[in-house]
Structure 1
């Protein structure tokens, strides 16, 4: 995989100059308020983690420029969560030693579960920005854990609508390639349910190890099976490698994904992105708040933000807004405030809120479709997008899980 660029020296100097040019803020209390950020920064999810870190720091800088949180400067602490055991240990250290006001982040569903168990025990707050598993909103839900990342049901139903319209589900044979860990297993379960409900089926399926880089054996199986559609329930660098090698093999079966991050399409290189995929947000949205975030992020880091950046940026902003509105940093008070349906502008056309029953954010999603290579403007503007899903006349909960699909009973 071609590595995505890290923060350049020039971008860092531009960011520093902008901060120096801003008026000085006099904070009411000398002690900084800390938010602990945990997310994978290495391994197959590492490219997404870098977007998360950059966006969280951008949000913190904007909050501090506007006066901080209740007159206190916001300080972000950043750690690589690595795996569930490390994530649990670092979450505990953030709370007990560093006295953070909240933990934000994560992408790996198993690590998010581990962090959720820690914050429940410690009565701290956790905003999950990248873990999708429906179980985190169902059997493994926690009262002190909220989700700005979409659940698998939302991803599947959002892109599923587009696939139904394209005639790629009813009566079609699907070949599913699925990431072999908690997220992928959960996504495959949700995808099979949606396909069955809409007249489709999974005729063939393979589990893909998370460290796999050579898809040749699976591409040869695809060629032999000749499916009507290939569904990629993959994650992280798996998607990048799959897209590059699928194109190299010259396969022409329609491709769709039930989970996605735009950075992974960018990493595949020019002409290699294809198919239809779901996303929580993308940098081509035209509303004023989205355009400003995209411009600010691009000016500072030399690339547009992608959907993982959107989640971490908004999570930090939501925490700051809530604490400023409450005039309190108490985790339980913030949790209760979010449960009561507080509304937030999250760079979309409609305001969003957290559903009290499972703490999943209710928000629009989008189905994006790859442009033909000749129409792609640059390595970033490579897709067209649906309008917001659900549509303007539908409730935001229309694509979320139902109680029958994922039922949450918060443990005490």
Structure 2
């Protein structure tokens, strides 16, 4: 019998209390999943609505990750049980997170794409002292004024997206003394991204010819396209989300507009849905299936074998987050959230399927890792429905600190409770 199982319940409670006091995190509400034969993980993500296409990849990926973890012996020799729900909207996400923690006794919650829903889940997680790993919410505010001690971010923040693709725009002469026209998703993610992109433009000598907020349920972009045509911008900036991007790209092609297009937030599934000839421009991504690394090749092969298509970058988020949790639990021999947080804050390194290992920045719990700018291939260069772009080298470069693309403390400050 392992050392873990020789502990008494009183000893476990005493150990957890000591860890909590030492870390300043407060005692956990319950030693979740340490008294059964399984370890439960909750997964919340949008599976309907404008973010639904991305959520489906997230679900497929976390299913694969849990299968692989269980095949390798689980966590601390125990099977991982996955509880999955459609988060729907911020209010529903909060209710389901509460139920997963209080009724189902999950060890942690992984997932989400909407920044607004991330915040409500994080509030529940903080109140119940349960780990939440955000895999899709980009808002800088989640790492700043809305940061929470029990929330970590595998997904990159908006500043990382902007600074990554911004290098390409600077290289191509699309910033200084240039004018941009932006369309921005009218919710927390979009508002935050517009703020960060305007900051980038101000620093680098450009300006906005116009910017419009677009309702998340909008499907007809003709009125916006007419305004773009009249403005004659040097770059059309797409700060939209989910299938908004797919719909816009298709209609942009139908209108026959030829102004350069780019974006500061993106998911490869949306390029695939737009398709050959409609997908144009340069965009930032956290990861893509064409990376030439051993970890990526193994992940892509396993995902493609199971689902008959390659994973997109939201799939990467779920897969990596779940592996991080498993590695941590097996290393520290505990599913107690304060113990996991303490371990992550000390700079533990993880294989994130790229050329360098990633780690969580202690100051705001953002995963530090490489990103990429992808550029659409010309239609006559596209060989299949998946490989429709070329990629930059990793950003930052090999001789740069991973944190150079992240928000500085002056740009976005996080203060955790003492």
Query: TM range, normalised to the smaller chain?
Result: over 0.9
Could you tell me how far apart the structure 2 residues matched to 1:218 and 1:246 are?
A: 10
Give unmatched runs, 5+ long, in structure 1: 1-27
Show the counterpart of 2:208: 202
Contact 2:269/2:312 (CA < 8 Å) preserved in 1? yes
Q: Of the candidates 27, 32, 35, which is equivalent to residue 38 of structure 2?
A: 32
Residue 282 of structure 1 aligns to a residue whose secondary structure is: coil
Matched, 1:235 2:241: yes
Count of residue pairs the alignment pairs up: 385
Show the counterpart of 2:339: 333
Cα distance, 1:30–1:347 mapped onto 2, change above 3 Å: same
Show the counterpart of 1:101: 107
Contact 2:209/2:231 (CA < 8 Å) preserved in 1? no
Residue 250 of structure 2 aligns to a residue whose secondary structure is: helix
Residues 369-401 of structure 1, C-alpha deviations (whole Å, 9 max, x = no match): 000010011111000000000000000000000
1:309-348 matches, cutoff 5 A: 309-348=315-354
Show the counterpart of 1:125: 131
Show the counterpart of 2:195: 189
Matched, 1:45 2:67: no
1:180-329 matches, cutoff 5 A: 180-329=186-335
Could you tell me how far apart the structure 2 residues matched to 1:72 and 1:288 are?
A: 27
Could you tell me how far apart the structure 2 residues matched to 1:271 and 1:64 are?
A: 42
Contact 2:152/2:365 (CA < 8 Å) preserved in 1? yes
Show the counterpart of 2:82: 76
Contact 2:39/2:80 (CA < 8 Å) preserved in 1? yes
Residues 292-350 of structure 1, C-alpha deviations (whole Å, 9 max, x = no match): 10111011111110110000001010000000000111110001100000000010000
Show the counterpart of 2:31: none
Could you tell me how far apart the structure 2 residues matched to 1:329 and 1:322 are?
A: 9
Show the counterpart of 1:66: 72
Matched, 1:151 2:164: no
Contact 1:258/1:278 (CA < 8 Å) preserved in 2? yes
1:30 deviates by 6.2
Show the counterpart of 2:382: 376
Q: Which runs of 4+ in 1 moved over 6 A?
A: none
Q: Of the candidates 363, 373, 379, which is equivalent to residue 367 of structure 1?
A: 373
Could you tell me how far apart the structure 2 residues matched to 1:214 and 1:290 are?
A: 37
Could you tell me how far apart the structure 2 residues matched to 1:63 and 1:271 are?
A: 40
Could you tell me how far apart the structure 1 residues matched to 2:273 and 2:225 are?
A: 20
Residue 110 of structure 2 aligns to a residue whose secondary structure is: strand
Show the counterpart of 1:407: 413
1:270 deviates by 2.1
Residue 364 of structure 1 aligns to a residue whose secondary structure is: coil
Residue 133 of structure 2 aligns to a residue whose secondary structure is: strand
Q: Of the candidates 87, 94, 97, which is equivalent to residue 91 of structure 1?
A: 97
1:29 deviates by 8.8
Could you tell me how far apart the structure 2 residues matched to 1:187 and 1:328 are?
A: 37
Could you tell me how far apart the structure 1 residues matched to 2:237 and 2:217 are?
A: 19
Could you tell me how far apart the structure 2 residues matched to 1:142 and 1:288 are?
A: 34
Contact 1:127/1:315 (CA < 8 Å) preserved in 2? yes
TM-score by length of 1: 0.92
TM-score by length of 2: 0.91
Could you tell me how far apart the structure 2 residues matched to 1:30 and 1:148 are?
A: 28
Residue 266 of structure 1 aligns to a residue whose secondary structure is: helix
Contact 1:276/1:368 (CA < 8 Å) preserved in 2? yes
1:32 deviates by 1.1
Could you tell me how far apart the structure 2 residues matched to 1:212 and 1:30 are?
A: 47
